Amino acid sequence: MTQRFFAMPEDGYLPRVADAVLARYLKSSGAVQVKGPKWCGKTATAERQSKSQVFLQDPDKSAALLSLADVKPSALLEGEEPRLIDEWQMAPQLWDAVRFAIDRGRGRGRFILTGSATPKERPAHSGVGRIARFSMRTMSLYESGESSGDVSLASLFEGASDVSGLVDFSVDDIAFALCRGGWPEAVTEKDEEIALSMASDYVEELLDSDIEEMDGVKRNATWMRSIMRSYARHVSTEAALTTIAADVQGYRPADVTIADYVDALSRACVTEDLTAWNPRLRSKTAVRTSPTRHFCDPSIAAALLHVSPKGLLDDLNTFGLLFESMCVRDLRVYTDALGGNVFHYRDKTDLEADAVIHLNDGRWALVEVKMGASQIDIAAKHLKKLADRIDQRHEGSPSFLMVLTAASAAYRREDGVLVVPLAMLAP
């Protein structure tokens, strides 16, 4: 197993970045919706901050609970608060019941709604101003104890410039962590083969029942597998839906069907594409608006491509694309803690940034992802050029420019660009 930078807690619960995010929202909102893929740890995190719970997937009680939700949804809200309602999307009417309860009552932090899918049936009311929402993802390297945490994203935004140090986390370790994924059960599993098998188990369970259970729509498992494999081949690229459709083997469904399947994967939190950043520029330059394709965890792509840690080391092109997706996952986790979002940038001249971190207060930073040291010079030049292209009178100056790597050394270049190993990064 890869080395850990801290000991496993006695209760087996590894602290999550989402712990603080959830606590913050409970102080400011009547209810909090926590959305994320199955197996990412939503329930365990929410349960620790709740005082009573109702689990709609409990096989002994599910039928009775869903029947009660149909005739008297408010009954499921009765209990000590904060009250956790797990997999609330199985009874979408609970959303409006929670909203109504908040309107009629007082206080904050009353309910926690967790779910691994967004139902097609929309609630009558949005919940704006009453129900806060955030996404919980699989575990970053910092949460799994595989990042030293010596470089804090928050400190970089505060102006820290003394970035230096080494980390003992090899490319082999990166490959293993990528294929294993950030699934809590896999992270805590001591048997490497079992840990590596869990992403494949996730894919098979998803194809077997999860997508259909989400909205009751029967979907062709062969098409879904082909579409997911195409996604895996195009991870970290701007592949269009037509490109994905062309990859489907045998009978090809219409583009509208492809769009429906892709939408289902997104609503089930299996995919999470990275949208484009559209800043003000110094001169007129067409900015490409296509999203880059990503799964919620890079291990899904590795499982679909049937690639092992050793296989990644033998295919550096695939390794590079999946490593970029791994970096995007971790940056999203850390940025959640700071209050912001992650985007990507690319214009008609092909000048790009793999990740743009944009905080809610307007601060921003540009990040390029490169596996090794040989590409750092080019990446740094591109980041400097892109920063100069941004109209900083309106957008402000970047807080930092960073090349995120799989290497072992962190340092600040003479041109001011930071070079940081993923295995040293923290919120």
Q: Are residues 120 and 242 in the same domain?
A: no
| Residues ≥6 apart with Cβ < 8 Å to 67 | none
Q: Are residues 67 and 211 in the same domain?
A: no
Q: Which of these, 118, 109, 117, 138, lies nearest to 44 by C-alpha position?
A: 138
pLDDT, one tens digit for every residue, the chain (427 residues): 566 777 777 777 899 999 999 999 999 999 999 999 999 999 999 999 999 999 999 999 999 999 999 999 999 999 999 999 999 999 999 999 999 999 988 789 999 999 987 765 655 555 556 899 999 999 999 999 999 999 999 999 999 988 999 999 999 999 999 999 999 999 999 999 999 999 999 999 888 877 766 667 788 888 889 999 999 999 999 999 989 988 886 656 676 688 889 998 998 899 999 999 999 898 888 888 999 999 999 999 999 999 999 999 999 999 999 999 999 999 999 999 999 999 999 999 989 999 999 999 999 999 999 998 899 999 999 999 999 999 999 999 999 999 999 999 999 999 999 999 999 999 9
Residue 4 belongs to some domain of the structure: no
Q: Indicate the residue among 135, 163, 180 that finishes a domain.
A: 135
Q: How many CB atoms lie within 10 A of CB 200?
A: 16
Q: Are residues 41 and 181 in the same domain?
A: no
Main-chain phi, psi angles of 116, to 5 degrees: -110, 15
Q: Are residues 130 and 164 in the same domain?
A: no
Q: Are residues 115 and 222 in the same domain?
A: no
Q: Which two tokens stand for residue 258?
A: 């492809």
Q: Are residues 292 and 206 in the same domain?
A: yes
Q: Indicate the residue among 135, 170, 205 that finishes a domain.
A: 135
Q: Are residues 245 and 109 in the same domain?
A: no
Q: Are residues 116 and 184 in the same domain?
A: no
Residue 7 belongs to some domain of the structure: no
Q: Are residues 194 and 73 in the same domain?
A: no
Residue 400 belongs to some domain of the structure: yes
Q: Are residues 168 and 307 in the same domain?
A: yes
The torsion of the CA quartet 67, 73, 79, 80, rounded to 10 degrees, works out to 140
CATH of the domain at 128: 3.40.50
Distance CA 262, CA 158 (A): 38
Q: Which of these, 75, 72, 79, lies nearest to 51 by C-alpha position?
A: 79
Domain count, the chain: 2
Q: Are residues 201 and 267 in the same domain?
A: yes
* 3-state DSSP of the chain: CCCCCCCCCCCCCCCCHHHHHHHHHHHHCCEEEEECCCCCCHHHHHHHCCCEEEECCCCCCHHHHHHHHHHCHHHHHCCCCCEEEECHHHCCHHHHHHHHHHHHCCCCCCEEEEECCCCCCCCCCCCCCCEEEEECCCCCCCCCCCCCCCEEHHHHHCCCCCCCEECCCCHHHHHHHHHHCCCHHHHHCCCHHHHHHHHHHHHHHHHHHHHHHHHCCCCCHHHHHHHHHHHHHCCCCCCCHHHHHHHCCCCCCCHHHHHHHHHHHHHCCCECCECECCCCECCCCCECCCCECCECCHHHHHHHCCCCHHHHHHCHHHHHHHHHHHHHHHHHHHHHHHCEEEEEEEECCCCEEEEEEEECCCCEEEEEEECCHHHHHHHHHHHHHHHHHECHHHHCCCCCEEEEECCCEEEECCCCCEEEEHHHEEC
| Residues ≥6 apart with Cβ < 8 Å to 204 | none
Model pTM above 0.85: yes
What residue numbers bound the domain in which 81 lies? 17-135
